[in-house]
């Protein structure tokens, strides 16, 4: 659906790599062009007309985000992407919150950006990282989390939807559990927020990170939302212009209020405006419809792929548009090269979840990740190509 | 070499690569090679005696091009002197990068002479060579 909004779809290619980045609708590109063509100016410092427009458009994106996920617009921080957001939580908040002997619960299906910052900080502080075991179908449940919680558990950090398996975690249930056990709940929404309706206030999430470019927005911009009381305790990890009220020779200084104090330097203004446009665009379609379309497409794919003997699908049961599979006895990258030969873009590899191999006994998979603009006809084409994959080496060599 | 023959050589070396599997032997030089742009990840080990390549072995996960290249390379390098191997390396890398090279030195490695037409596969055809280069460089130091 809505294919006509995406100029790039005119190229005849099939794009199934939406978990890596999504395509951009014309309205987003136009909104950014307009900033560059009609009212280029910096934020917060100009008294001229263009600067007023920029300020207004830039600041208004916080309101758009707050409407989109039901959060207080004062708690919306612009970042460069989910990776930046997650690093802010770890190095700006957790560095001062966690103590030696504390425990942080992660799991091996997480993206590098929700594991590596924790490993680095644990070297400094000495807290313990524990990995919640995944179920047989590689999903993560509250029951498994509960089994790992001890009186020392201070933080649970996980993705709303994992990027390899695509399992949808029950954020509301885990959030409620965390709240009643006084555990900070940090959520990586990079794969979740673009695909599902989410309510920040209702879910007892303490920190939420997501990226613009995985939800029809531009690269280089993301969002961190946090509970206000926690943001008050969080320290900036970058200092400079735009985020201070004053600084003096005697080393005294004062930082601006939340959220501005976390946004040092000239931000990605065009990208923030583009992200606002992308969110308005998604809300215009409705997140419920977007999610349903992805599920419909995935169900259709699974039905069609059933009778192809040499295709192994690893995540049949998950409720998202991510399909992890391999062609039997074919290295994942060769499979993705083969699909590329027919103009089909997918991704092969460990998808930045390098520990998942410990749980899956396979290192690499081919990943198809859907978005609402994908079609049943595109799936038919993929199925046809996969059906003929016994001849793969004749094609790729 | 026609493309059917090239494909056959690549496929045979992929399916049954030469010297796949590492051995416990401290007299070998060792290295790992992987690429940022793909998911190939291979370990290599090489034994040199009196300036002659006595053995090269490898293991790991890689695509058809990388795996077959490792296999063909190993067959081509064993028994040659370090200087000969350096010369083959230079000419092979030139071939992949579409520079001037002497094809008479490359033997079966000529099967990759058109890989530059697929820029996303060039790295795969270079990875095993990078490993040997790295081990020879370590030898020099």
Helix/strand/coil (H/E/C) assignment for every residue in A163-212: CCCCCECCHHHHHHHHHHCCCEEEEECCCCCCCCCCCCHHHCCCEEEEEC
pLDDT for B123 beyond 70: yes
Phi (first) and psi of residue A184, to 5 degrees? -75, 135
Partner-chain residue, chosen from B6, B7, B63, that has the shortest CB–CB distance to A334: B63
Angle B26-B27-B29 (CA atoms, 0-180°, nearest 5)? Answer: 90
CA distance B107 to chain A (A): 18
Instruction: Note the pLDDT tens digit of each residue in B32-58.
Output: 988 776 778 899 999 999 999 999 999
Interchain CB distance below 8 Å, A331 and B63? yes
pLDDT band at B22; cut points 50, 70, 90: very high
Residues of chain A with CATH 3.90.1150.10: 286-396
Contact yes or no for B61 and A363 at CB 8 A: yes
pLDDT at B107 over 80: yes
B113 touches chain A (CB under 8 A): no
Q: CB–CB of A333 and B6 under 8 A? A: no
Q: Given A71, A178, A216, A352, which residue is catalytic?
A: A352
pLDDT at residue B2 tops 90 = no
Inter-chain residue contact A333 with B40, CB threshold 8 Å: yes
pTM for the full predicted model: 0.90
Fold annotation for A26-284: 3.40.640
Q: Is the pLDDT of residue B1 over 90?
A: no
Ranked by mean pLDDT, which of A39-43, A208-212, B5-9 comes out on top?
A208-212
Interface contact flag, B39 A394, Cβ < 8 Å: no
Q: Are B39 and A334 in contact (CB < 8 Å)?
A: no
What is the pLDDT, as a whole number, of residue A107?
95
Over residues A254-309, the pLDDT tens digits come to 999 999 999 999 999 999 999 999 999 999 999 999 999 999 999 999 999 999 99
- In the block, tokens 């490898």 appear at B58
Between B62 and A103, name the one with better pLDDT: A103
Question: What pLDDT score does A44 carry?
Answer: 81
- What local confidence, expressed as pLDDT, does residue B36 receive? 73
Residues of A in contact with B7 (CB under 8 A): 393-394, 397
The complex scores an ipTM of: 0.79
* All CATH 3.40.640.10 domain ranges in chain A, comma separated: 26-284
What pLDDT is stored for residue B24 in this prediction?
A: 94
Q: How confident is residue A215, by pLDDT bands cut at 50, 70 and 90?
A: very high
pLDDT band at A352 (very low <50, low <70, confident <90, very high): low
Contact with chain A for residue B63, Cβ under 8 A: yes
Is A178 a known active-site residue? no
pLDDT at A351 over 70: no
Helices (H), chain B: 3-15, 64-77, 82-96, 119-140
CB pair distance less than 8 Å for B14 and A393: yes
| B7–A397 CB contact, under 8 Å | yes
Neighbours of A61 (CB within 10 A): 25
- Residue A350 above 80 pLDDT? no
pLDDT number for residue A288: 97
In this prediction, residue A363 has a pLDDT band, given cuts at 50, 70 and 90, of confident
Judged by a CB distance cut-off of 8 A, whether residue A350 touches chain B is: yes
Instruction: Flag whether residue A362 sits within 8 Å of chain B, measured between CB atoms.
Output: no
CA A303 to chain centre: 28
**pLDDT score at A21:** 97
Query: If contacts are CB pairs under 8 Å, which of residues 165-224 in chain A contact chain B?
Result: none
Does the bond joining B83 to the residue before it have cis omega, within 30 degrees of 0? no
Give A112 to chain B, closest Cα distance, Å: 15
pLDDT at residue number A285? 97
Cα–Cα distances in Å, from A210 out to A95, A189, A205, B95?
A: 21, 5, 13, 44
- Chain B interface mutation, best of A330, A333, A367, highest count of B Cβ atoms under 10 Å: A333
Residue of B nearest to A397 (CA): B7
pLDDT digit string (tens) for A159-206?
Answer: 999 988 899 999 999 999 999 999 999 999 999 999 999 999 999 999
Task: Note the pLDDT tens digit of each residue in A98-148.
Answer: 999 999 999 999 999 999 999 999 999 999 999 999 988 888 999 999 999
Nearest CA-CA partner of A141 in A152, A150, A132: A132
pLDDT tier at B3, thresholds 50, 70, 90? confident
CATH number for region A286-396: 3.90.1150.10
Residues of B in contact with A331 (CB under 8 A): 61-64, 67
Number of H helices, E strands in chain B: 4, 3
What does the pLDDT read at residue A397?
A: 85
Interval A311-324: pLDDT, tens? 999 999 899 999 99
What sign has the CA pseudo-torsion A258, A262, A265, A271? negative
Using the Cβ of A275 and the Cβ atoms of chain B, whether some distance falls under 8 Å is answered with no
Among the residue ranges A67-81, A90-104, B22-36, B97-111, the one predicted with the least confidence is B22-36
| Chain A contact probe: residue of B63, B111, B115 with most A CBs at under 10 A | B63
Contact status of A361 with chain B (Cβ, < 8 Å): no
For chain B, domain boundaries? 3-140
CB contact, 8 Å: B6 with chain A?
Answer: yes
Residue A357 has pLDDT above 90, yes or no: no
CA distance A222 to A90: 16
Q: What is the CATH number of domain B3-140?
A: 3.90.1010.10
How many Å apart are CA A339 and CA A392, to the nearest integer? 9
CB A208 within 8 A of CB A224: yes
Q: Identify the three-state secondary structure at position A326.
A: strand
What does the mean pLDDT of chain A come to?
94
């Amino acid at each position: 659906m809505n294919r006509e909004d995406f100029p790039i779809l005119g190229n005849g290619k099939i794009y199934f790599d939406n978990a890596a980045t999504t395509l951009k609708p014309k309205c987003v590109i136009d909104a950014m062009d307009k900033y560059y063509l009609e009212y280029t100016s910096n934020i917060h410092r100009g008294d001229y007309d263009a600067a007023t427009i920029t300020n207004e458009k830039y600041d208004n994106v916080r309101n758009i985000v707050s409407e989109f996920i039901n959060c207080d617009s004062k708690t919306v921080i612009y970042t460069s992407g989910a990776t930046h957001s997650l690093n802010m939580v770890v190095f700006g908040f957790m560095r001062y919150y966690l103590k030696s002997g504390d425990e942080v619960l992660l799991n091996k299906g997480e993206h590098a950006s929700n594991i590596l910052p924790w490993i680095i900080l644990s070297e400094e502080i000495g807290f313990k990282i524990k990995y919640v075991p995944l179920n047989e179908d590689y999903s993560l449940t509250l029951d498994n989390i509960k089994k790992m919680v001890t009186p020392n558990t201070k933080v649970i950090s996980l993705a709303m939807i994992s990027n390899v398996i695509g399992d949808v975690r029950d954020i509301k249930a885990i959030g409620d559990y965390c709240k009643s056990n006084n555990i900070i709940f940090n959520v990586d929404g990079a794969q979740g927020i673009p695909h599902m309706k989410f309510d920040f206030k209702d879910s007892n999430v303490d920190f939420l990170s997501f990226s613009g470019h995985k939800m029809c927005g531009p690269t280089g911009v993301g969002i961190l939302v946090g509970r206000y009381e926690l943001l008050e305790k969080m320290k900036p990890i970058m200092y400079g212009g735009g985020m201070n009220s004053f600084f003096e020779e005697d080393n005294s200084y004062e930082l601006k209020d939340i959220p501005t104090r976390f946004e040092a330097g000239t931000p990605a203004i065009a990208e923030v405006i583009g992200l606002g446009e992308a969110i308005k665009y998604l809300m215009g379609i409705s997140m419920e419809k977007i999610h349903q379309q992805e599920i419909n497409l995935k169900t259709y794919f699974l039905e069609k792929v059933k009778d192809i003997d040499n295709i192994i699908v690893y995540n049949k049961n998950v409720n998202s548009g991510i399909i992890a599979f391999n062609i039997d006895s074919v290295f994942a990258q060769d499979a993705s090269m083969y699909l590329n030969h027919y103009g089909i873009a997918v991704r092969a590899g460990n998808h930045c979840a390098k520990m998942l191999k410990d749980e899956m006994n396979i290192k690499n998979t081919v990943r198809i990740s859907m978005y609402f603009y994908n079609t049943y006809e595109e799936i038919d084409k993929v199925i046809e190509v996969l059906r003929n994959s016994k001849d793969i080496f004749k094609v790729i060599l | 070499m026609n493309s059917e023959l090239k494909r056959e050589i690549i496929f045979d070396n992929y399916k049954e690569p030469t010297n796949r599997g590492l051995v416990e032997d401290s007299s070998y030089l060792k290295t790992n090679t992987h690429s940022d742009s793909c998911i190939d990840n291979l370990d290599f080990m090489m034994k040199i005696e009196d300036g002659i390549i006595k053995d090269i072995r490898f293991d790991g996960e890689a695509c058809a091009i990388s795996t077959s290249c490792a296999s063909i390379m190993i067959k081509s390098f064993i028994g040659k002197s370090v200087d000969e191997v350096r010369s083959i390396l230079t000419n092979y890398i030139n071939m992949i990068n579409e520079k001037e090279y002497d094809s008479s030195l490359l033997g079966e490695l000529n099967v990759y002479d058109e890989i530059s037409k697929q820029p996303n596969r060039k790295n795969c055809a270079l990875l095993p060579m990078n490993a040997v280069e790295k081990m020879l460089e370590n030898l020099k130091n």
